[in-house]
Homo-oligomer: A and B are copies of this chain.
Amino acid sequence: MAHHDLQTVSHECGDCPIRHRAVCARCESDELQRLEQIKYYRSYQAGQTLIWSGDRMDFVASVVTGIATLTQTMEDGRRQMVGLLLPSDFVGRPGRTTAAYDVTATTDLVMCCFRKKPFEELMTSTPHIAQRLLEMTLDELDAAREWMLLLGRKTAREKIASLLAIIARRDAHLKLKSAKGSIVFDLPLTREEMADYLGLTLETVSRQVSALKRDGVIELEGKRHIIVRDFDLLLEETGDDSDGGYLV
């Protein structure tokens, strides 16, 4: 199943789809040139695990296209997903040699990689990279803390609604639509992956998705295609503050 052939692709930073959101977002053209010299692309197939927790990590990378996950696994097999990586998200930690989590491709995936050593050197000399990385890390920390509330205090139904709302919002963002009224999107995760993200079992996920469908909050077409007629209705099910409080 796990083919180990990695395609290598080549691109210009200029027409890179994540140019304005990734670690390189703030770079001036000279900084970008130096990054361009050390970057290389890698492709992975859906289902492939790119990095195992504990592995030596000699590169850092940005997700260009596709979706990856960060998961932690306990000795007895209990699993918790601790991050969902979308295009422009950053993988790896400058200053650390060992991976702390498994990184798995849930869809076909293209990554823009940098060998760690040169990247770290670049980071100390070009402040715009470090600046952007700090910003992105702070955002991730906020997201992780929001997820802590979900894991610790939300009901199964609220958890599902929250996940759907997040995916819907990101999808709308990618399509440059606003997350209002009627939204249609595909779930990039299996029921089991959803369960691992939400701290539930796959059976409970399945039941709660069915319940939301039965109650008219969502519609299903096949297993993965979701139709949300009224986004506000979905938001009411998340348990979050209704006053649309969006920070940023």
Chain B residues with CB below 8 A from A248, complex form? 96
CA distance A75 to B243 in the complex (A): 10
Is A152 engaged at the interface, CB distance under 8 Å to the other chain?
Answer: yes
Cβ–Cβ contact B95 & A135, under 8 A: yes
Contacting residues of chain A (58-86) with chain B, CB-CB under 8 angstroms: 70, 72, 74-76, 78-80, 82-83
Number of copies: 2
Are B147 and A74 within 8 A (Cβ)? no
The number of chain A residues with a CB under 8 A from chain B is 47
- A157 on interface, CB distance cutoff 8 Å: no
Residues of B within 8 A of A152 (CB): 80, 151, 198-199
The CA of A236 and the CA of B127, in the complex, are separated in Å by 44
For A178, the chain B residues whose CB sits under 8 A away are none
One of A34-42, A137-145, A180-188 contacting the partner = A137-145
Q: 8 more A-B contacts (CB under 8 A) besides A95-B135, A152-B198?
A: A72-B146, A78-B153, A79-B153, A80-B149, A82-B149, A93-B138, A137-B141, A141-B141
Instruction: Provide the A232-248 mask, 1 if CB < 8 A to any CB of B, else 0.
Output: 00000001111001011
Residue pairs across A and B with Cβ atoms less than 8 A apart, 15 shown, are: A74-B153, A75-B241, A75-B242, A80-B148, A80-B149, A82-B148, A124-B131, A127-B127, A130-B130, A137-B138, A141-B141, A144-B144, A144-B145, A151-B151, A151-B199
> Which of A79, A83, A149, A247: most chain B Cβ within 10 A?
A149
Q: Mark A191-202, 1 if CB is under 8 A from B, else 0.
A: 000000011000
Is A98 an interface position by the 8 A CB rule?
A: yes
Among the interface residues A133, A144, A240, which one has the most CB atoms of the partner chain B within 10 A?
Answer: A144
| Residues of B with C-beta under 8 A to A199 | 151-153
Q: Is A100 an interface residue (CB 8 A)?
A: yes
Chain B residue nearest to A140 (CB atoms) is B141
A50 within 8 A of B: no
